Chains A and B, each alone.
Chain A
């Protein structure tokens, strides 16, 4: 054994044992610390500058972590859970990180006492199951059609955000836009709320936030193609196309052999005739308004404008779909196949307005719009970006409540209540598992504690008072008033959160902690996995 035996590639680094476990805990804690100050109504924004010099100003957990590059692998998976939370329920991205970080911290003491991670994990799993049960018990149902109830919930979701100052406006916008796109699917019998596709947020810098509104229709960033066309039509008949109104060559490679000069003339003529035929087919259906996803040639514009038809070209596919849903039309692909039913008549007003230097097309006063545009105005682009993120959160919250109208008290009240019940329960447990179980209960208090911290009140005093309050019966809705740092009854403050968000936060946080605690070895610098392992194929989450 004279020469050392090199088994692994020398580039790879390996760490194992307790060092890794504690390292993972530290990494999780660090990530949680980064965004700790972003929780609650007294939260502050973070300004991030990416290498390209772009700026992001936000207090949305997911948006912050997305921009941060970390080295530690455990920290990476922490960051990912924020994305999961965002995609699944859209809110609670900050709390999930803080909670997961705290769950890891709670396990640290047991690791140092040399408790086996599998024991801790088993206790965590049991705690998670109990938490879900307790949450179901604590929740209260509401009627999602009741506007005032909905407003309260959305308001408490917005309370922590930048648009807090315009909370009323934002609430109305979120509720209105979401209730517009609700579609009770007859065939599946399920409620379908597709915010991503049918409630589009358009940001137009300029003006003030108060000018923002939810349109009862759609707005697109386009102008009419020909200046002579009408810019305002009441009760327009709308025709939607996804083909071009230009002469196009066929797909196959075509060569033409011309034997005499008249043929050349003929070709040119044919092209003209084609346009003429196509436009006349459109004109025959007497639309007032033609939208197409492709181009419109000058000649076609001329024919259309002569027939007093306004045409708008180069729409996005998604915009076209939205208009189709708002005005009840169908997107046609061949002009000769247009039918009367395809024409949308649901819109009340078409008009082109000018903001700043740009023209925008509005299709509004729709009778029964199933799609809408949310028009945001504001001082600068960065602010608008943040407002959009906030509004998205609010809309997600609205959506969650509409699908599952169950609520929990916010402001840390529910965490205190769950912790209280779990601590009671742990007393009747036997075996080592009760300690990690109780630690989970304690760790839950991080949410009210952070709320108190962020508004600068005395943490220990307030938490103790809150704990005492919860020890007595019937005070389960008491939490922290994030503005003042006092304890308060959430019923009076009207701070509510949807169950879906809370449940998801707990599940994601606990399961991540369980995943990270199981690790006892980190090998970095391994070779790239040759794709296609396992039986499954591309994940729906893949990027």
Chain B
């Protein structure tokens, strides 16, 4: 730290400013990018993360890696948040967004060092980003018209290729597309929606990944309350309750004052009977599967057993809501009606073809198959151990997001570095037409995009410089020579290390993910570029004993 950069102003901390801070930020961003770099592409590898308790996570997902890393540098944190944002917004492409952002920063730093003001760079980047997205949407997307199931499956396969389930992408891609289609519904505006969150993914270790199954229906990780209950009910009428079926008791603080001892006996009897009456009311409507978020007392189980009904207690509310939606049941939080009486109407029941409890591994699951109102889907993942199952779940989540994006935005772009290479050629040509300071920034933007094909080639242990040069030559030809327009689909084949037509090879990605990742990366880079001063405050001196938080941590407050 030089004396010059230290401001005379007294701040209770450390101050870095000017060039120093920018260089530091860029350095931090690059080191983050370096961490996730090797997980990009079909030949990318996984990371193993061990937290302080010793729990192991194995993952290939950029967002997950960065989320688990204990990042300290503020600029690096921006990148981690960027990956998280991409994960939430679109669900896939988290690694590439970090790579692009870091590369943008690196090149901007070089420009800044040759005394170009960051604001010029920023406006250049903005312009380039806008033009790039426009060009991509106009020239590189493959529109909805020819969007068959094959295209969707290809997109999923592209997303999966880098993941642990890549070798089984044949099986999983079909599964994911089917699952997404199962939960499809058309909203009030007539737009098809794919709420992929309602695809329930359960994990059970054992068997092999290939034996993962897609269940048409909803799977709940619960068991029937009593072993004497039937394990399978065909033509199920499902009641979804959100209250306890336990002995009724008064709320806290309510005292019952009894003057006549005889009444005491009645009170006790009443406690038992209230619940019994409730159950009888529910049973009277013909319900034969009762799911509740609360508990069911052992002494009430017998009524279910005698009626040949299934009672399931402690169902998660989230699960129950989805079950209710799928089967057409109403989630019933109380039996009381407006008249002050208790009633249960048959219209509150949901219907499903069958409800069955099955043993998977060492555990039991309840499947609600063939729900009447809306089809539902659950995927049960199998694998050698929990770590693998967790990673498979993350991969499937990404894949589901891809399906959703493809089907909702209805356009795809070729993957494998095609878009980036094409955009970089386009932007370079565009830059020469801009007669201002922004020209340089746009050119650097074009250059930065090449990080994706470069990294892809590098991970595949190919000669990245030569391969990317070749790729650029193809795209240059496609854009300048109208006869060779078909070359615009050229991308990398990473297994053999040659250039091929990625559109016909079926390496596709949803265009939304691409455009979002370029936009988000630009925004993040701009945010960091604008910084010219970093003040890190020293932790405040404590006065008058330890702070509240410290006391909490040291357990002084646990009385």
Interface residues of A (CB under 8 A from B): 1-3, 5-12, 14, 16, 20, 71, 73-74, 76-77, 80-81, 83-85, 87-88, 116-118, 121-122, 125, 128, 185, 187-188, 192, 194, 196-197, 242-243, 248-257, 259, 263, 266-267, 270, 274, 293, 317, 321, 324-325, 330-334, 337, 504, 507-512, 514-515, 518-529, 533-541
A5 with B205: CB separation less than 8 A: no
Please, how many angstroms separate the alpha-carbon atoms of A1 and B340 in the complex? 75
Please, how many angstroms separate the alpha-carbon atoms of A251 and B256 in the complex? 11
B27 with A541: CB separation less than 8 A: no
- Count chain B residues whose beta carbon lies closer than 8 angstroms to a beta carbon of A: 115
Interface residues of B in 10-33 (CB under 8 A from A): 20, 23-24, 27-28, 31-32
B261 with A266: CB separation less than 8 A: yes
Segment of B67-75, B445-453, B476-484 engaged in the interface with chain A: B67-75
**Residues of B close to A536: CB separation below 8 A:** 200-203, 393
A515 with B221: CB separation less than 8 A: no
Interface residues of B (CB under 8 A from A): 1-2, 20, 23-24, 27-28, 31-32, 35, 38, 42-43, 45-58, 60, 64, 67-73, 76, 164, 166-168, 196-197, 199-209, 221, 226-228, 230-234, 247-250, 254-262, 264-265, 267-268, 271-272, 298-302, 305-306, 316, 318-319, 356, 359-365, 383-391, 393-394, 397, 400, 460-461
B71 with A242: CB separation less than 8 A: no
B365 with A8: CB separation less than 8 A: no
- Shortest beta-carbon distance from A344 to chain B in Å: 12
Please, how many angstroms separate the alpha-carbon atoms of A325 and B247 in the complex? 27
B258 with A521: CB separation less than 8 A: no
Which one of B42, B68, B199, B204 contacts A540 once the chains associate, using CB atoms below 8 Å?
Answer: B204
Q: What are the nearest 7 A-B pairs in CB distance?
A: A333-B299, A88-B206, A251-B249, A507-B208, A9-B70, A536-B201, A87-B362
B64 with A267: CB separation less than 8 A: no
Q: Max chain A CB contacts within 10 Å: which of B202, B227, B365?
A: B227
**Residues of B close to A243: CB separation below 8 A:** 299
A7 with B72: CB separation less than 8 A: yes
Please, how many angstroms separate the alpha-carbon atoms of A11 and B354 in the complex? 53
Which one of B20, B48, B51 contacts A529 once the chains associate, using CB atoms below 8 Å?
Answer: B51
Query: With A254-B264, A515-B387 given, can you name 5 additional A-B contacts, CB distance below 8 Å?
Result: A116-B43, A325-B227, A330-B228, A526-B70, A535-B393
- Shortest beta-carbon distance from B97 to chain A in Å: 18
- Shortest beta-carbon distance from B252 to chain A in Å: 8
B232 with A80: CB separation less than 8 A: no
* Sampled A-B contacts (28; CB under 8 Å): A7-B73, A7-B76, A73-B48, A77-B387, A80-B387, A87-B362, A122-B167, A251-B250, A252-B248, A330-B305, A333-B302, A334-B299, A334-B302, A511-B209, A512-B385, A514-B167, A515-B46, A518-B164, A519-B58, A521-B48, A523-B49, A523-B50, A525-B70, A526-B50, A528-B55, A540-B221, A540-B360, A541-B363
A529 with B199: CB separation less than 8 A: no
Q: Max chain B CB contacts within 10 Å: which of A73, A117, A538?
A: A73
- Shortest beta-carbon distance from A295 to chain B in Å: 15
Q: For residue B301, which residue of chain A has the nearest CB?
A: A333
B302 with A337: CB separation less than 8 A: yes
Which one of B43, B69, B265 contacts A270 once the chains associate, using CB atoms below 8 Å?
Answer: B265
B257 with A255: CB separation less than 8 A: yes
A270 with B261: CB separation less than 8 A: yes
B73 with A324: CB separation less than 8 A: no
Which one of B54, B208, B305 contacts A511 once the chains associate, using CB atoms below 8 Å?
Answer: B208
- Shortest beta-carbon distance from A522 to chain B in Å: 4
**Residues of A close to B306: CB separation below 8 A:** 330
**Residues of B close to A7: CB separation below 8 A:** 27-28, 31-32, 71-73, 76
Which one of B53, B197, B233 contacts A535 once the chains associate, using CB atoms below 8 Å?
Answer: B197
- Shortest beta-carbon distance from B295 to chain A in Å: 13
A330 with B42: CB separation less than 8 A: no
- Shortest beta-carbon distance from B246 to chain A in Å: 8
**Residues of B close to A330: CB separation below 8 A:** 228, 302, 305-306
Which one of A250, A523, A526 contacts B271 once the chains associate, using CB atoms below 8 Å?
Answer: A250
- Shortest beta-carbon distance from A174 to chain B in Å: 19
Please, how many angstroms separate the alpha-carbon atoms of A507 and B207 in the complex? 7
A257 with B258: CB separation less than 8 A: yes
Please, how many angstroms separate the alpha-carbon atoms of A16 and B65 in the complex? 14
Please, how many angstroms separate the alpha-carbon atoms of A331 and B166 in the complex? 51
Please, how many angstroms separate the alpha-carbon atoms of A508 and B254 in the complex? 57
Please, how many angstroms separate the alpha-carbon atoms of A522 and B55 in the complex? 12
Contact flag A253-B256 (CB < 8 Å), given A333-B302, A520-B46, A529-B68: yes
Q: For residue B227, which residue of chain A has the nearest CB?
A: A321
- Shortest beta-carbon distance from B362 to chain A in Å: 4
B50 with A73: CB separation less than 8 A: yes
Contact flag A519-B248 (CB < 8 Å), given A2-B2, A88-B207: no
**Residues of B close to A3: CB separation below 8 A:** 1, 24
A533 with B67: CB separation less than 8 A: yes
**Residues of B close to A196: CB separation below 8 A:** 362
A8 with B386: CB separation less than 8 A: no
- Shortest beta-carbon distance from A523 to chain B in Å: 5
**Residues of B close to A541: CB separation below 8 A:** 203-205, 361-363, 386, 389
- Shortest beta-carbon distance from A518 to chain B in Å: 4
Please, how many angstroms separate the alpha-carbon atoms of A304 and B67 in the complex? 65
A77 with B2: CB separation less than 8 A: no
A255 with B387: CB separation less than 8 A: no
Which one of B38, B208, B247, B298 contacts A128 once the chains associate, using CB atoms below 8 Å?
Answer: B208
Q: For residue B306, which residue of chain A has the nearest CB?
A: A330
**Residues of A close to B54: CB separation below 8 A:** 71, 73, 76
A519 with B385: CB separation less than 8 A: no
Please, how many angstroms separate the alpha-carbon atoms of A333 and B23 in the complex? 74
Contact flag A252-B51 (CB < 8 Å), given A511-B383, A537-B221, A541-B205: no
**Residues of A close to B364: CB separation below 8 A:** 540
- Shortest beta-carbon distance from B519 to chain A in Å: 24
Please, how many angstroms separate the alpha-carbon atoms of A220 and B364 in the complex? 26
Q: For residue B250, which residue of chain A has the nearest CB?
A: A252
A521 with B298: CB separation less than 8 A: no
Please, how many angstroms separate the alpha-carbon atoms of A519 and B249 in the complex? 55
**Residues of B close to A128: CB separation below 8 A:** 208
Q: For residue A536, which residue of chain B has the nearest CB?
A: B201
B261 with A267: CB separation less than 8 A: yes
B384 with A511: CB separation less than 8 A: yes
Please, how many angstroms separate the alpha-carbon atoms of A155 and B393 in the complex? 40
Please, how many angstroms separate the alpha-carbon atoms of A526 and B48 in the complex? 10
**Residues of A close to B300: CB separation below 8 A:** 333
Which one of A88, A249, A520 contacts B45 once the chains associate, using CB atoms below 8 Å?
Answer: A520
A242 with B45: CB separation less than 8 A: no
Q: For residue A539, which residue of chain B has the nearest CB?
A: B203
**Residues of A close to B256: CB separation below 8 A:** 252-255
- Shortest beta-carbon distance from B302 to chain A in Å: 5
B202 with A539: CB separation less than 8 A: yes
- Shortest beta-carbon distance from A175 to chain B in Å: 21
**Residues of A close to B55: CB separation below 8 A:** 528-529
Please, how many angstroms separate the alpha-carbon atoms of A122 and B168 in the complex? 10
Please, how many angstroms separate the alpha-carbon atoms of A149 and B69 in the complex? 56
**Residues of A close to B318: CB separation below 8 A:** 537
Please, how many angstroms separate the alpha-carbon atoms of A197 and B231 in the complex? 15
B69 with A8: CB separation less than 8 A: yes
Contact flag A77-B258 (CB < 8 Å), given A7-B31, A116-B460: no
Q: For residue B269, which residue of chain A has the nearest CB?
A: A250
**Residues of A close to B400: CB separation below 8 A:** 535
Which one of A122, A251, A333, A515 contacts B298 once the chains associate, using CB atoms below 8 Å?
Answer: A333
Q: For residue A527, which residue of chain B has the nearest CB?
A: B70
Please, how many angstroms separate the alpha-carbon atoms of A528 and B72 in the complex? 15
B207 with A81: CB separation less than 8 A: no
Q: Max chain B CB contacts within 10 Å: which of A11, A118, A248, A259?
A: A118
Q: Max chain A CB contacts within 10 Å: which of B28, B234, B258?
A: B258
Please, how many angstroms separate the alpha-carbon atoms of A243 and B316 in the complex? 28
Q: For residue A523, which residue of chain B has the nearest CB?
A: B49
Which one of B164, B258, B384 contacts A84 once the chains associate, using CB atoms below 8 Å?
Answer: B384
Please, how many angstroms separate the alpha-carbon atoms of A1 and B385 in the complex? 45
